């Protein structure tokens, strides 16, 4: 799902609770809240989750604290939030895209239903994916990489943040578009996966830009293409996949803040109002853009429909790839 780039919006003064809000929402929040990130600390989801927690803490005047619960392709963290009381004090900050892919690839295995068990506060932005190779790989373009892969006796390995992650499906889509076979090595998050790619232990990864950018700048990995329709401002010299000869290879990861299903409507309204104010702030926008993340200017426009559409989009893509 593509979003219009947010620019030039000032922070607006917004009331936390309206006079018509239910009693349960009038005193909210009265204590700290936790935001569960179902991946390791240090990855792109963790970064945006922490920036969001800080922003919400300032707007609400109560702490929103990030708690990492990685494992099982995010299922551990998701199940924890799913089973939490829908009282506005436990949330999930995650890659909705990755979770939708996992649910589509392995229905029922994760122990949760994204539509039935969780409710969106809002989708805060999208993260482009970039095809990167370890500095030890003798290829500087996508064409050279494809040729190199075809000359190897064994399929080249690629890292991902877990089975069903955006990186996983992105690599499958890349292999399909390139006409090559690759070998999957799943990790428990983007940060440890990138560590091994940067160290040369794994040659390839379709990584989120925030995870890849520090290593690209350090020269430990090479960026060969961005998997979006237009070049990104953080990597102006890196071609799009289409420019590199891979038509139709376009994948991005959408990040969002979710709550357990059944959360009080007044509390949810207050959360959405403040989340929109946070995303609209120039400070948040700049912090996101500096890391290659595109803020969602439409975060307050029908969050439920946007959430369902993202899940359905990736379910359809998974079905297409599996059918071929």
Give the residue among 163, 165, 164, 145 at the shortest CA–CA distance from 155: 145
Taking residues 172-176, what's their average pLDDT?
91
Residue 127: pLDDT over 90: no
What is the pLDDT, as a whole number, of residue 8?
31
**Biggest distance spanned by C-alpha atoms of the chain:** 69
**Cα gap 107→36, rounded to integer Å:** 22
> Are residues 253 and 127 in contact, defined by beta-carbon separation less than 8 angstroms?
yes
Taking residues 281-301, what's their average pLDDT?
89
DSSP tag of 240: B
> Are residues 213 and 233 in contact, defined by beta-carbon separation less than 8 angstroms?
no
Which pLDDT band holds residue 324 (cuts at 50, 70, 90)?
low
What is the pLDDT, as a whole number, of residue 2?
34
Residue 308: pLDDT over 90: yes
- Residue 160 pairs in a beta bridge with 186
| Structural domains in the chain plus CATH codes | 23-126+255-323 (3.40.190.150), 128-226 (3.40.190.10)
Q: How many CA atoms lie within 13 A of 170 on its CB side?
A: 30
> Are residues 269 and 145 in contact, defined by beta-carbon separation less than 8 angstroms?
no
SS3 content of the chain, % helix, strand, coil (to 5): 40, 20, 40
Give the residue among 114, 66, 95 at the shortest CA–CA distance from 167: 95
Taking residues 188-201, what's their average pLDDT?
94
Residue 60: pLDDT over 90: yes
The more confidently predicted of residues 300 and 158 is 158
Taking residues 35-42, what's their average pLDDT?
95
> Are residues 211 and 132 in contact, defined by beta-carbon separation less than 8 angstroms?
no
Dihedral, CA atoms, 174, 73, 293, 308, nearest 10 degrees?
90
What global pTM score does this model have?
Answer: 0.75
**Cα gap 152→142, rounded to integer Å:** 16
**Cα gap 78→117, rounded to integer Å:** 9
What is the pLDDT, as a whole number, of residue 233?
83
Give the residue among 130, 188, 193 at the shortest CA–CA distance from 162: 188
pLDDT digits (tens, 9 = 90+) for 217-270: 999 999 999 998 888 888 999 999 999 999 878 888 899 999 999 999 999 999
Q: What is the mean pLDDT of the chain?
A: 88
Among the residue ranges 10-19, 86-95, 247-256, 278-287, the one predicted with the least confidence is 10-19
SS3 14: coil
Which pLDDT band holds residue 138 (cuts at 50, 70, 90)?
very high
Tokens of 145: 């990489």
């Amino acid at each position: 799902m593509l979003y219009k780039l947010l620019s030039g919006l000032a922070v607006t003064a917004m009331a936390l609770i309206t006079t018509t809000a239910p009693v349960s929402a009038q005193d909210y929040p009265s204590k700290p809240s936790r935001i569960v990130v179902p991946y390791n600390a240090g990855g792109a989801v963790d970064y945006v989750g922490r920036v969001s927690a800080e922003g919400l803490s300032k707007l609400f005047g109560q702490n929103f604290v990030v708690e990492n619960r990685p494992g099982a392709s995010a299922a551990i963290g998701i199940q924890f939030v799913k089973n939490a009381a829908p009282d506005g004090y436990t949330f999930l900050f995650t890659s909705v895209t990755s979770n939708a892919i996992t649910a589509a690839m392995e229905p029922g295995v994760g122990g949760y239903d994204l539509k039935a068990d969780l409710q969106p506060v809002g989708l805060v932005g999208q993260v482009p994916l970039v095809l990167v190779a370890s500095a030890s790989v003798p290829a500087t373009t996508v064409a050279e990489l494809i040729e190199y892969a075809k000359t190897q006796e064994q399929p080249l390995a690629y890292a991902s943040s877990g089975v069903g992650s955006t990186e996983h499906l992105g690599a499958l889509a890349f292999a399909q578009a390139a006409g090559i076979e690759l070998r999957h090595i799943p990790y428990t998050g983007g940060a440890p996966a990138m560590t091994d790619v940067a160290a040369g232990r794994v040659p390839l990864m379709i990584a989120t830009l925030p995870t890849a950018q520090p290593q690209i700048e350090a020269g430990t990995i090479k960026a060969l293409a961005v998997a979006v329709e237009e070049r990104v401002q953080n990597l102006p010299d890196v071609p799009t996949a289409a420019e590199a000869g891979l038509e139709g290879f376009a994948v991005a990861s959408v990040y969002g803040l979710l709550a357990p299903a059944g959360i009080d409507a007044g509390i949810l309204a207050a959360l959405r109002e403040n989340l929109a104010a946070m995303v609209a702030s120039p400070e948040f926008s700049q912090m996101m853009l500096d890391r290659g993340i595109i803020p969602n200017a439409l975060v307050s426009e029908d969050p439920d429909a946007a959430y369902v559409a993202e899940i359905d989009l990736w379910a359809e893509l998974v079905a297409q790839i599996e059918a071929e």
